[in-house]
Chains A and B, each alone.
Chain A
Amino acid sequence: MSATTIVAAPAVSLPPVSTFFQRFCKNRTALAAAIILLIIVLIAIFAPYIAPHDPARSSLRNILKAPGSVYWLGSDDLGRDVASRLMFASRLSLVASLQAVAIALVIGMPLGLISGYVGGWVDTIISRCNDALMSFPALILAVVIVGLMGPSLTNAMTAIGLVYAPRIMRVVRGSTLSVREEVYVRAARATGCSDARIITRHVLPNVTGPLVVQATVLMGQALLAEAGLSFLGLGTQPPEASWGAMLGTAFPYMAQSPVPTIAAGVVISVTVLCFNLIGDGIRDSVGRMRRSGD
């Protein structure tokens, strides 16, 4: 602690952000998860340079090959290299989950802030709509929305974003309810801040902790939902590949060639696990950060 303190700022004690990173790095599990996720992201970014084969080129002579030196993880039912396809698919899967979480944040965060801060009948209306949405199983609701909008990856992720917005809203509302009662919010009102300014400058920065945790965990869940929808043929459309779509196409041939199915499943599980572990790590680090110095 002390060595880094001196490096960070000689006379001043640690600013909160670096304190957070120090705490996060002490959590070995979360750190390992973050490193694995970083590797996956790097693979996604540099897929065109790393992939041994063209992911879209099929070769009918090499259908359902076993893993070997040419096809690291075997080939699929159209003779495409599974390893290369997994690498390219990670781009689609990660961007799609990011898109879903972004939509959930854009919808859920303002609603949660308004609901928690304003209270009264506004809160009642927003919260009851929220409860109604949350009472549906997430994936079923997403299937209905995609069914209405037509199958495509963008529609699938918009649907998942809509379905997850209530979860973000709930977390933000809960934190807002407690932050609203803080003396510094009353002090801001005494200063003469408008409600909009109080919400953006005083409430929002103090609810980001739980929000970041929830968003990280939702990333994992969105990834899983994307995989589920694509598996059902409602998300990614061929010839594009996402992890879920690959799982879906490989599954019927599992008896002949189990490796592609298992590989896609493992990649999905590992990534989701990483997001969850990072979420836990952030929660623990942020939780202690709030209390430091008080």
Chain B
Amino acid sequence: MSAKPCLRVENLHVTYDVGSTGFMGARRKLHAVNDVSMEIAAGETLGLVGESGSGKSTAGLAILRLIDVASGTVRLGETDVAGASRAELRALRKRMQMVFQDPYSSLNPSMTVAQLLEEPLVVHADVPKDERRSMVGRMLESVGLHAGYAVRYPHEFSGGQRQRIAIARAMMLHPELVVLDEPVSALDVSTQSQILNLLKKIQGDSGTAFLLVAHDLSVVRLMSPRVAVMYLGEIVETGPSGRVYDEPAHPYTAALISAVPFPDPERQRTAHRIILGGDLPSPMSPPSGCRFRTRCPFVMEICSKEAPPKVAIEGGGMASCHLHAHGPKLGGRSLVGFMKDRALVTVE
């Protein structure tokens, strides 16, 4: 980790009010993001993965204060984001931007591409009109679009082109951080790689840090040297991508990774896979102790009693799982060896 992080998130909590239980009943809270901490260095990409409902998008939105933060600190460079006033926050927005999942709904249909891309300049910087036009043209070309497209409306473009426009809009003010919320999951597979390569190129040129929120593990592996895995609002494992993918230390990570299909059908048939039963438990009433215990294939008695500690893992990162201190006592080693040697499993 570099000395000065671009983004530092500590103990972030996001809760939603879910209405009261009956007349005059107590307001119930939904813990969408629970005690999430992370750091991203300048120019680095951190992948945030998890299944639908794991709170990864919510965490991304909360970091940008697009939804309210219940508690915790978010610092962009030296600036406090979580505690910023409305005016401070608006000024901060030029340093942090977002690319949304669906490029069909994230671009205002009544504005031309030029108006869309000029908006950040108009709002944050007092740039004369001629200069704005040329900046828009240059930005369009740098995302691989013709500068003459500036006069067109969003509905005239394909999904991939629209996402390029959305990326151009996010990059107009050269922000320090861009949250990419599932930037390619709404696109064709052939377009996905183009957009990912574009993002890599832009990051190389600008030194912008990315927080890449995605459910597609191959996308995250391609894009980010470090990943964080979320389950039910909590980060269960972090670490360098190579280590997390090849030697997962948390059963949920292992299950996620084993769900990625192999391109070779022969290998796909023989591959050892962990298939999780059931759905995500309701975040309204999360399981006691370890949140993953209701679906964990290696669940032990202690899992329902105590929340698992964060354990440093060999090869970098950490994981929150009782398996490292109890049962097989992995002690920071990966789950892979343990899974191969099923004799170690003590299932009641």
Q: Which residues does A use to contact B, with CB under 8 Å?
A: 12-13, 15-16, 182-184, 186-194, 197, 201-202, 205-206, 290, 292-294
> In the complex, which residues of chain A have a beta carbon less than 8 angstroms from the beta carbon of B124?
192
> In the complex, which residues of chain B have a beta carbon less than 8 angstroms from the beta carbon of A202?
108, 111
A183 contacts B102, C-beta separation under 8 Å: yes
Closest to A182 in B: B105
B105 contacts A183, C-beta separation under 8 Å: yes
Closest to B169 in A: A191
A293 CB, min distance to chain B CBs, angstroms: 3
B56 CB, min distance to chain A CBs, angstroms: 17
A190 contacts B93, C-beta separation under 8 Å: yes
* 8 closest cross-chain pairs (CB), A and B: A293-B155, A192-B93, A205-B110, A183-B105, A184-B108, A190-B98, A183-B106, A187-B106
B97 contacts A184, C-beta separation under 8 Å: no
> In the complex, which residues of chain B have a beta carbon less than 8 angstroms from the beta carbon of A15?
153
> In the complex, which residues of chain A have a beta carbon less than 8 angstroms from the beta carbon of B109?
184, 206, 290
B90 within 8 A of A: yes
Closest to A187 in B: B106
Q: Which of B248-298 contact A (CB under 8 A)?
A: none
Mask: chain B, 60-103; 1 = CB below 8 Å from A; 0 = not: 00001010000000000000000000000011111001101010
Closest to A179 in B: B108
A191 contacts B105, C-beta separation under 8 Å: no
What are 27 A-to-B residue pairs whose CB atoms are below 8 Å?
A12-B156, A13-B156, A16-B110, A182-B105, A183-B106, A184-B106, A184-B108, A187-B98, A187-B108, A187-B169, A188-B108, A190-B66, A190-B97, A190-B98, A191-B97, A191-B119, A192-B92, A192-B93, A192-B120, A193-B119, A193-B123, A201-B119, A205-B108, A205-B111, A292-B155, A293-B156, A294-B155
A206 contacts B110, C-beta separation under 8 Å: yes
Closest to A11 in B: B148
> In the complex, which residues of chain A have a beta carbon less than 8 angstroms from the beta carbon of B153?
15-16
Of the residues A16, A182, A188, contact of B119 by C-beta under 8 Å = A188
In this complex, the member of B91, B93, B110, B169 whose beta carbon has the largest number of chain A beta carbons within 10 angstroms is B110
A191 with B156, Cβ < 8 A, contacts A184-B105, A205-B110, A206-B108 known: no
B123 CB, min distance to chain A CBs, angstroms: 5
Q: Which of B139-161 contact A (CB under 8 A)?
A: 151-153, 155-156
Of the residues B91, B152, B166, contact of A12 by C-beta under 8 Å = B152
Complex Cα distance, B106 from A193, in Å, reads 15
Mask: chain B, 290-330; 1 = CB below 8 Å from A; 0 = not: 00000000000000000000000000000000000000000
> In the complex, which residues of chain B have a beta carbon less than 8 angstroms from the beta carbon of A292?
155
> In the complex, which residues of chain A have a beta carbon less than 8 angstroms from the beta carbon of B195?
none
Closest to A193 in B: B123
In this complex, the member of B97, B123, B124, B155 whose beta carbon has the largest number of chain A beta carbons within 10 angstroms is B155
B12 within 8 A of A: no
Complex Cα distance, B169 from A192, in Å, reads 12
B119 CB, min distance to chain A CBs, angstroms: 6
> In the complex, which residues of chain A have a beta carbon less than 8 angstroms from the beta carbon of B93?
190-192
A294 with B104, Cβ < 8 A, contacts A187-B98, A190-B97 known: yes
A187 contacts B155, C-beta separation under 8 Å: no
B7 within 8 A of A: no
Complex Cα distance, B119 from A2, in Å, reads 33
Of the residues A182, A189, A192, A201, contact of B94 by C-beta under 8 Å = A192
B67 CB, min distance to chain A CBs, angstroms: 9
A180 CB, min distance to chain B CBs, angstroms: 13
A32 CB, min distance to chain B CBs, angstroms: 29
Of the residues B94, B100, B110, B156, contact of A187 by C-beta under 8 Å = B100
> In the complex, which residues of chain B have a beta carbon less than 8 angstroms from the beta carbon of A189?
66
> In the complex, which residues of chain B have a beta carbon less than 8 angstroms from the beta carbon of A201?
108, 111, 119
Closest to B101 in A: A183
A186 with B119, Cβ < 8 A, contacts A16-B153, A192-B124, A205-B110 known: no
Q: Which of B35-51 contact A (CB under 8 A)?
A: none
Complex Cα distance, B97 from A192, in Å, reads 9
Closest to B98 in A: A190
Please name 11 further chain A to chain B contacts, defined as beta carbons within 8 Å, in addition to the given A184-B109, A191-B169, A205-B110, sorted by A numbering.
A12-B152, A183-B105, A184-B108, A191-B93, A191-B119, A192-B91, A194-B90, A194-B123, A202-B111, A206-B110, A292-B155
In this complex, the member of B104, B106, B169 whose beta carbon has the largest number of chain A beta carbons within 10 angstroms is B106
Closest to A205 in B: B110
Complex Cα distance, B108 from A294, in Å, reads 12
Closest to B154 in A: A293
Complex Cα distance, B94 from A183, in Å, reads 19
Q: Which of B108-148 contact A (CB under 8 A)?
A: 108-111, 119-120, 123-124
B123 contacts A192, C-beta separation under 8 Å: yes
B109 CB, min distance to chain A CBs, angstroms: 7
> In the complex, which residues of chain B have a beta carbon less than 8 angstroms from the beta carbon of A16?
110, 153, 155
Closest to B102 in A: A183
> In the complex, which residues of chain A have a beta carbon less than 8 angstroms from the beta carbon of B6?
none
Complex Cα distance, B155 from A202, in Å, reads 16
A213 CB, min distance to chain B CBs, angstroms: 17
> In the complex, which residues of chain B have a beta carbon less than 8 angstroms from the beta carbon of A294?
104, 155
In this complex, the member of B100, B109, B166 whose beta carbon has the largest number of chain A beta carbons within 10 angstroms is B109
